[in-house]
């Protein structure tokens, strides 16, 4: 997707990372770029709002159940592996455990 206007960060990149943004899983620099784009681009901001609403809806319907830590870690490992395979030049960092 593209709104047709030039942006520092492409619309498709922003929409690919919207869940990372919503879950506060991107670093501050990337978060600032995404926020800037959302401030400038109403189509992306609208899509962001839909995704944000979906996240709230899912949270309310899932009853607050949390996935086991072992499942979360397996998912993180699988995602890192997939990203590394599909985008060899992208560095995938470990997020420190709380």
Tell me: the pLDDT tens digits for 10-48?
A: 888 888 888 888 888 888 998 998 899 899 888 889 988
Domain region containing 43? 1-65
Same domain for 71 and 25: no
Rounded-to-integer distance, Cα 14 and Cα 62, Å: 26
Question: What crossing angle do the helices spanning 28-40 and 42-61 adopt, rounded to 10°?
Answer: 120
Question: Can you give the pTM of this predicted structure?
Answer: 0.56
Same domain for 25 and 15: yes
Tell me: the pLDDT tens digits for 51-87?
A: 999 888 888 887 667 788 999 999 989 988 887 787 7
Same domain for 46 and 90: no
């Amino acid at each position: 997707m593209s709104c047709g206007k030039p942006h520092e960060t492409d619309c498709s990149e922003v929409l690919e990372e919207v869940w990372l943004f919503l879950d506060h899983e991107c670093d501050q620099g990337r978060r600032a770029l995404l926020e800037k784009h959302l401030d400038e681009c109403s189509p992306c901001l609208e899509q962001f709002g839909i995704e944000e609403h979906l996240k709230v809806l899912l949270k309310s319907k899932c009853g607050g159940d949390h996935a086991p830590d072992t499942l979360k870690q397996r998912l993180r490992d699988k995602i890192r592996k997939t990203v590394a395979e599909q985008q060899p030049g992208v560095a995938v960092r470990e997020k420190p455990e709380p």
